[in-house]
Structure 1
Amino acid sequence: MRVKRKRHEQGLKITDVARIAELSQGMVSKIENAQVSTSLETLGRLCDAIGLPISQLFSDYDRPDGEAQLTKAGQGMEVVRRGTDKGHTYQLLNYHRDSQKNYEPFLITMDDASEVFPTFFHPGLEFIYLLEGEILYRHGNHLYEMEPGDTLSFDAAIPHGPEALKKVPVKLLSIIHYDD
């Protein structure tokens, strides 16, 4: 299929490729339609004729079978955390289903009814990325003015959280990484 697709991209007919590769038209057609096994030498000539590196024919060979978890926009699981009673909404964007929890990604939203709560603490390292709004964020004795696009990473065992919601709504991506 890759040979056929590349031939079409090049605007070549089977007769053109057969002539350049010094193969019969029937052989080119059978190779394109996976109706014949052929030698690497023949494949090499065919690939040279259409400008396709032969290695691309085997790029899918022995590729590991991957599996990822997709969470569609707005479909994350809403969870209750310590800030929920302060008006902070936590949407868990992804999670592992095995016994070892390495990280938790959250979309956290706050509005004008949300309260500030700069004394969160929990195990792990946390990374936050401000998507929307403006916030004054506390980590220990330090205050950080954050605007959309700003990031902050810190030891989550030290008290932290929003000191002031300067422009609402606030949306931030929070990824908590737990030690093994």
Structure 2
Amino acid sequence: MTEDVGKKIKELRTNKNLTLKELSTKTNLSIGFLSQLERGLTAVAIDSLNNIAKALDVNLSYFINEANHNKKIILRSYEKEVFQVENNQFIHYHLTNDIENKNLLPRLIEILPTSSKEPLTSYQHKGEEFVYVLEGILTLLINNEQQELFPGDSAHYDSNLVHNWANYTSKTVKLLTVHTPNMFKKETED
């Protein structure tokens, strides 16, 4: 993180044609400290980084978000949190730390048992879906046809087909699903 922050500071400073001495004056931080920071040789306190951000006319988040971006590769099993509970039946867990910056939407979904008498609403939208059954028996509805998927079975389909999932058994179904497009992705300006 320190090296990334330092590179960003140096890049902004040189693009603004500021010397280390001028940045030092604006931030009340020593030239030596700023030089070490730019080379990734020292850490910086958040209040000092905030002063640097102000002096370089950027938000503090410019440094923090960029630095944290590199840390979001791995999500440990104990870090997973319930993202959404839908209709008291579908429990959604996101399987990424960086959901807003990725094209794919990987999720673990648990579907609680339900009665087969309940009507099922089907969906249709842009994109693709991949489903892999981890536990239980999943009922997959595609274009009003029902298929049962067992552990180890998978399905990959265009989301513009009318579709949905159901659990008509007495045990919880767990599945891994990957969707595109990722509805949580932030739009970037090109």
> What is the TM-score with the length of structure 1 in the denominator?
0.52
Asked whether the 8 Å contact 1:77–1:93 carries over to 2, the reply is: no
| Unpaired runs of at least 5, structure 2 | 1-69, 183-190
User: RMSD over aligned Cα, in angstroms?
Assistant: 3.0
Q: 2:156 aligns with which of 153, 161, 177?
A: 153
SS in 2 for 1:165: coil
Aligned letter for 1:105?
A: P
Question: How many correspondences in the alignment?
Answer: 112
Q: C-alpha distance in 2, partners of 1:118/1:68?
A: 35
The structure in which a higher percent of residues are helix is 2
**Structure 1 113/69 Cα, relative in aligned 2: closer, same or farther at 3 Å?**
same
Distance 1:155 1:138 in 2: 13
Instruction: Give the letter for the 2:158 counterpart.
Output: D
Residues in 1 aligned to 2:181 and 2:132: alpha-carbon distance in whole angstroms = 18
User: Does the 8 Å CA contact 2:138/2:173 hold for their aligned counterparts?
Assistant: yes
Determine the C-alpha separation between the residues in 1 that align with 2:104 and 2:174: 19
Identity, in percent, stands at 24
Q: Which runs of no fewer than 5 residues in structure 1 stay unpaired? A: 1-65
Look at both structures and tell me which one has the larger radius of gyration over its CA atoms: 1
In the TM superposition, structure 1's runs of 4+ consecutive aligned residues that sit over 3 Å from their partners are 95-99, 113-118
2:89 partner amino acid: G
What TM-score do you get using the length of structure 2 for normalisation? 0.49
Larger fraction in strand: 1
Pair 146,167 (structure 1): closer, same or farther in 2 beyond 3 Å? farther
5 Å-filtered alignment, 1:2-17, equals none
Instruction: Specify the alignment match of 2:95 in structure 1.
Output: 93
Deviation at 1:177, TM superposition (A): 2.0
1:69-108 aligned within 5 A: 69-80=73-84, 84-94=86-96, 96=98, 101-108=102-109
Tell me if structure 2 keeps the 8 A contact 1:95–1:104. no
For residues 60-89 of structure 1, the C-alpha deviation after alignment (integer angstroms, 9 at most, x for no partner) is: xxxxxx9761111142343237xx025100
Q: 1:130 aligns with which of 129, 133, 144?
A: 133
CA contact (8 A) 1:93 1:105 kept: yes
**For the Cα contact (< 8 Å) 1:118–1:137, is it kept in 2?**
no
Distance 1:136 1:106, change over 3 A: same
Task: Name the residue aligned to 2:122.
Answer: 119
Question: Given that residues 124 and 176 in structure 1 are in contact (C-alpha distance below 8 angstroms), is that contact kept between their aligned partners in structure 2?
Answer: yes
> Partner of 1:110 in structure 2?
111
